[in-house]
Amino acid sequence: MRSFVAILALFVASIAPATAQPASRCSRDVFPVAGQSLAVTVCAGAPDGGKTVAVSETFKTAKGSFDQSTSIEVLPGAAASRAVHDVSLAPLGLQYTLHLTLAFRETAVSIEHALLLPGAVPLK
């Protein structure tokens, strides 16, 4: 009976990590732009050989949305790797550019800083 319980315990322990919910690779922020809410979602892909990580971005308002992608160069041994990325909001009918600082830590990406141009309006 003890060996059955031991085998059952090992079986459960071996499948627990496989069924556990993975850590979120995405982050979502909402910024006020020209009197409307702009939702920005950024998601990290898997690191490409440990050198770069692909980042997919979605920009959405009540009037529409568009997707874009960029990448972040992964710095070996660094707590975080960062990239600066400028995004024109013209596809949403907005005459602004969003200046973003993206940060990749472990398996997730987030917006560390956001600035609205022209006017250098800090959003985050």
Q: Where are the domains of the chain?
A: 23-122
What is the reported pLDDT for 84? 96
∠ CA 63-32-88, nearest 5°, is: 65
pLDDT in tens, 21-36: 344 789 999 999 999 9
Mean pLDDT score across all residues of the chain: 83
Is 79:72 a contact under the CB 8 Å cutoff?
A: no
Is 76:50 a contact under the CB 8 Å cutoff?
A: yes
pLDDT in tens, 68-100: 999 999 988 889 999 999 999 999 999 999 999
pLDDT band at 47 (very low <50, low <70, confident <90, very high): confident
What is the reported pLDDT for 30? 98
What is the reported pLDDT for 8? 34
Higher pLDDT among residues 109 and 3, named by residue: 109
For the chain, give the percent of residues with pLDDT over 90.
69
Cis amide leading into 118 (omega within 30): yes
Is 110:27 a contact under the CB 8 Å cutoff?
A: yes
Paired with 12 in beta bridges are: none
Closest CA to 59 of 105, 93, 84: 93
Is 98:84 a contact under the CB 8 Å cutoff?
A: no
